[in-house]
Amino acid sequence: MHVAHLSLADFRSYARAEVPLDPGVTAFVGPNGQGKTNLVEAVGYLATLGSHRVSSDAPLVRIGAERAVVRAQVVQGPEGDTERRRLLELEINPGRANRARINRSSQVRPRDLLGIVRSVLFAPEDLALVKGDPGERRRFLDELITARAPRLAGVRSDFERVLKQRNTLLKTAAMARRHGGKGADLSTLDVWDQHLATAGAELLAHRLDLVAALQPLADKAYEQLAPGGGPVGLDYRSSIGDDALAGAAGREELYGRLLEALTAARRQEIERGVTLVGPHRDDLVLRLGPMPAKGYASHGESWSYALALRLASYELLCADGGEPVLVLDDVFAELDARRRERLAELVAPGEQVLVTAAVDDDVPGLLRGARFSVENGTVVRQ
Partner 1 sequence: MYEGVVQDLIDELGRLPGVGPKSAQRIAFHILQADPADVRRLAHVLTEVKAKVRFCKVCGNVAQDELCRVCRDPRRDPAVICVVEEPKDVVAIERTREFRGKYHVLGGAISPIDGVGPDDLRIAELLRRLADGTVTELILATDPNLEGEATATYLARTVKPMGLRVTRLASGLPVGGDLEYADEVTLGRAFEGRRLLDV
Footprint of ligand ATP on this chain (CB under 6 A)? 12-13, 30, 32-38, 59, 61-63, 330, 356, 358
Question: Does residue 380 interact with partner 1 by CB under 8 A?
Answer: no
Rule CB under 5 A: which of 326-345 touch Mg ion?
330
Q: Which does 261 bind (CB under 5 to 8 A by kind): Mg ion, partner 1, ligand ATP, none?
A: none
**For residues 92 and 354, which CB has a smaller minimum distance to partner 1 in the complex?**
92
Which amino acid is located at 112 in the chain? D
**Phi/psi of residue 81, nearest 5 degrees:** -65, -40
SS3 state at 367: helix
CA distance 124 to 36: 14
Question: Does residue 198 interact with Mg ion by CB under 5 A?
Answer: no
Collect all residues with Cβ–Cβ distance below 8 Å to 376 and sequence separation of at least 6. Answer: 34
Computed from CA positions of residues 288, 131, 279, 311, in that sequence, does the dihedral angle turn out positive or negative? negative
> CB of 128 within 8 A of CB of 294?
no
**For residues 121 and 170, which CB has a smaller minimum distance to ligand ATP in the complex?**
121
From the CA atom positions of the chain, what is the Rg in Å? 22
SS3 state at 237: strand
**For residues 56 and 188, which CB has a smaller minimum distance to partner 1 in the complex?**
188
Distances (CA, A) of 320 to 118, 141, 250: 11, 16, 21
Distances (CA, A) of 367 to 98, 210, 332, 344, 363: 36, 30, 11, 7, 7
- The answer to whether 37 is annotated as binding is yes
> CB of 284 within 8 A of CB of 313?
no
Question: Does residue 169 interact with partner 1 by CB under 8 A?
Answer: yes
Question: Does residue 190 interact with partner 1 by CB under 8 A?
Answer: yes
DSSP letter string over 93-126? Answer: -TTS--EEEETTEEEE-GGGGBTTB-EEEE-GGG
**For residues 184 and 213, which CB has a smaller minimum distance to partner 1 in the complex?**
184
Q: Provide, rounded to whole angstroms, the least separation between the CB of residue 30 and ligand ATP.
A: 6
Question: Does residue 37 interact with Mg ion by CB under 5 A?
Answer: yes
- The answer to whether 94 is annotated as binding is no
CA distance 70 to 8: 5
Question: Does residue 150 interact with partner 1 by CB under 8 A?
Answer: no
**For residues 44 and 200, which CB has a smaller minimum distance to ligand ATP in the complex?**
44
- The answer to whether 93 is annotated as binding is no
Using CB under 8 A, pick the residue from 51, 73, 76, 172 that binds partner 1: 172
Q: Provide, rounded to whole angstroms, the least separation between the CB of residue 167 and partner 1.
A: 8
Using CB under 8 A, pick the residue from 73, 76, 194, 215 that binds partner 1: 194
Which amino acid is located at 13 in the chain? S
Q: Provide, rounded to whole angstroms, the least separation between the CB of residue 163 and partner 1.
A: 11
SS3 state at 374: strand
**For residues 168 and 263, which CB has a smaller minimum distance to partner 1 in the complex?**
168
Q: Provide, rounded to whole angstroms, the least separation between the CB of residue 14 and ligand ATP.
A: 8
- The answer to whether 44 is annotated as binding is no
> CB of 87 within 8 A of CB of 294?
no
Binding site residues, partner 1, CB under 8 A: 154, 158, 161-162, 164-166, 168-169, 172, 185, 187-188, 190-192, 194-195
Binding site as annotated, residues for ATP: 30-37
Binding site residues, Mg ion, CB under 5 A: 37, 330
